[in-house]
Structure 1
Amino acid sequence: MFTKHALGRGLPVLRTERLLFRGLTPSDDETIFRFLNDVEVIKYLNRVHLPTKLRARRLLKEIWISGARLESVHYGIRLLEQDELIGVISFQQWKEDKKEAQIGYMFDRRYWGQGYGTEAVGRMIRFGFEELGLQRIEGKCHEHNQRSQKVLIKNGMKYMRTHKHFSLFPKNGQDVLVYVKEQTL
């Protein structure tokens, strides 16, 4: 079982049939920046009022800061065969004492519709339950993000509630659907 303290020394490598998960490094910034600059990739994120390049820089900064503080766990998702970074997946708002976290993910648009999201989320959920000792994982997505809804549902997450006009900036708020999966003993 991994604790936050243990993960502070480095993330274990995770694998699926087609994917490799490794901790992010500064050399990944350029690739992440590229797909954060794709309007289709980021249109459901909470920073819609910011210009795309500024939004990308702030998100990268948040990833590094929250990881250093052990508030989150971010993995780079790579194609196993080519070692190409295609996305990022994370546990955010990780509350070790309550054994819960929120899962988040984003992928380079070139890799949408190929089952990578479902595969990655499934592996991360298993990691959370089996290796981090989580008992509850929450996933959120905007109501119009049907692809993300399908990924969560295919991984056994159940719809719980809707946050009305959810946003860091209320004028830009959209309804956000909340899905939950709990560890069954």
Structure 2
Amino acid sequence: MIPLETQRLILRDFVESDWQAVHKYASDHEVVRYLTFGPNSEEDTKNFLQREISLQGEKPRQHFALAVTLKAQKPLIGICRISVKDTGNKTGSIGYCFNKQFWGQGYATEAIKAVVSYGFQELGLHRIFATCRPENIASAQVLPKIGMQQEGYLREHHQKINYPKLFVHL
């Protein structure tokens, strides 16, 4: 059930007032250098949030982009998402992005572990995967920590990004 809660975090649906906190990381070239978007303009970030908020009303809901906030002070520090990609085969994908001020503190691992658990327990998924560019070493180190295994490389998976690693949760 959304929101998800971990020891240090609350993962909740986005609201329009989150745009400035999202823009802080989405407009940072260092944060988005391995991603398929950005750096964002203010308009890009506002459009992203509007799209994500509109998807919250889907029936059945297939996409969960969640604001990651610290329990203590409640600042928004990043995003963690899970999307149902194939209902027949019960397959989903995950992704995450965090404000660089909060890198290296275990927040991504903690958040994505909660999202994967939600995918298996609440969404009834059978298989969950993630992709990651090979040079994104820090992000690639998170995925095995939550039980994912690298299966291979997806050549020309995205036009902007070639050769992302494919990780799956078994």
2:26 maps to which of 19, 36, 40: 36
Q: How many residues align?
A: 167
1:82–1:106 distance in 2 versus 1, CA, 3 Å:
same
The 1-side partners of 2:56 and 2:85 are apart by: 11
> What does residue 63 of structure 1 align with?
52
From 90, 93, 99, the counterpart of 2:90: 99
Q: Are positions 1:24 and 2:4 aligned together?
A: no
**Pairing partner for 2:168 from 153, 156, 180:** 180
- Once residues 24 and 56 of structure 1 are traced to their aligned partners in structure 2, the CA distance between those partners, rounded to angstroms, is 12
Q: TM-score, normalised by structure 1?
A: 0.81
Mapped contact 2:84–2:93 kept (Cα < 8 A): yes
- Corresponding residue SS for 1:164: coil
Give the structure 1 partner of residue 101 of structure 2: 110
C-alpha distance in 1 between matches for 2:62 and 2:121:
19
RMSD: 2.0
- Identify the residue that residue 5 of structure 1 maps to in structure 2: none
1:87 match: 78
The normalised TM-score by structure 2 is: 0.88
2:135 aligned residue:
144
**Unaligned stretches of 5+ residues in structure 1:** 1-10
User: Residue 122 of structure 1 is aligned with which of 108, 113, 120?
Assistant: 113
Deviation at 1:126, TM superposition (A): 1.0
Per-residue deviation, residues 148-178 of structure 1 (Å, max 9, x unmatched):
11110111101112012332xx3x3321001
Structure 2 alignment gaps of length 5 or more: none
Give the letter for the 1:41 counterpart: V
Distance in 1 (alpha carbons) for counterparts of 2:167 and 2:87: 20
- State the alpha-carbon separation in 2 of the partners of residues 57 and 42 from structure 1: 17
Question: Percent identity, aligned pairs only?
Answer: 29
